Amino acid sequence: MDASRLKEVLVYFPEVGNFYWRQRRGRILAGTKAGCIGQRGIILIRVDFVLHKAHRLAWLYVTGEWPKEDIDHKDGDPTNNRWENLREATDSQNLSNMRKPITNTSGRKGVSRRWDDKAWQVHIRANGKSTYVGSHTDLDEAHKMYAEAARKYKGEFARFE
């Protein structure tokens, strides 16, 4: 599918990030909001029997080309497809912008309790490898170490929470 076909069947409003059907599609009336939320919270839209991620369709709609890389949601919300919230990113950059995992026990991204329980250790994953940043007895100070390393290694894609 190219941008012209996409614009024949859907209209995209970049300020709000939603797609709407231009024409009636069976029981779906023209003007109806397009898409459904799939696994991982990503909005999916079926066009010409092919399922597409809405954020990739938004990129195609605005730029006229399919993205060469992944598309990252700056705010981490996969349902927020406003144009200002989307940016092209490598897989590594996209992963950098993830929230802390639900298995995190310290409550701070990149910080875990050292095995001897005397300090908090800080690791960061960037460019495909894990790097030990350091450790600190104070959780807040350890998190500050992570934030500094994230800014250094991940730049604009750094996420601290």
The per-residue pLDDT string of the chain (161 residues; one tens digit each, 9 = 90 and over) reads 999 999 999 999 999 999 999 999 889 999 999 999 998 899 999 999 999 999 999 999 999 999 999 999 999 999 999 999 999 999 888 888 888 888 888 989 999 988 887 899 999 988 778 899 999 999 999 999 999 999 998 888 888 77
- Kindly state whether residues 58 and 109 are assigned to the same domain: no
Domain containing 52 equals 3-89
**Would 48 be classed as within a structural domain?**
yes
CATH number at residue 72: 3.90.75.20
Helices (H) and strands (E) in the chain, counts: 4, 10
Q: Do residues 24 and 30 lie in contact, with contact meaning Cβ atoms separated by under 8 Å?
A: yes
Question: What is the number of structural domains in the chain?
Answer: 2
Record the tokens describing residue 96, joined without a space: 């950098």
Helix or strand holding residue 152 (H, E)? helix 139-154
- Kindly state whether residues 113 and 82 are assigned to the same domain: no
Residue 88, CB-side half-sphere exposure with 13 Å CA sphere? 10
- Kindly state whether residues 79 and 113 are assigned to the same domain: no
Q: Do residues 44 and 54 lie in contact, with contact meaning Cβ atoms separated by under 8 Å?
A: yes
**Would 94 be classed as within a structural domain?**
no
Q: Provide the pLDDT for residue 134.
A: 93
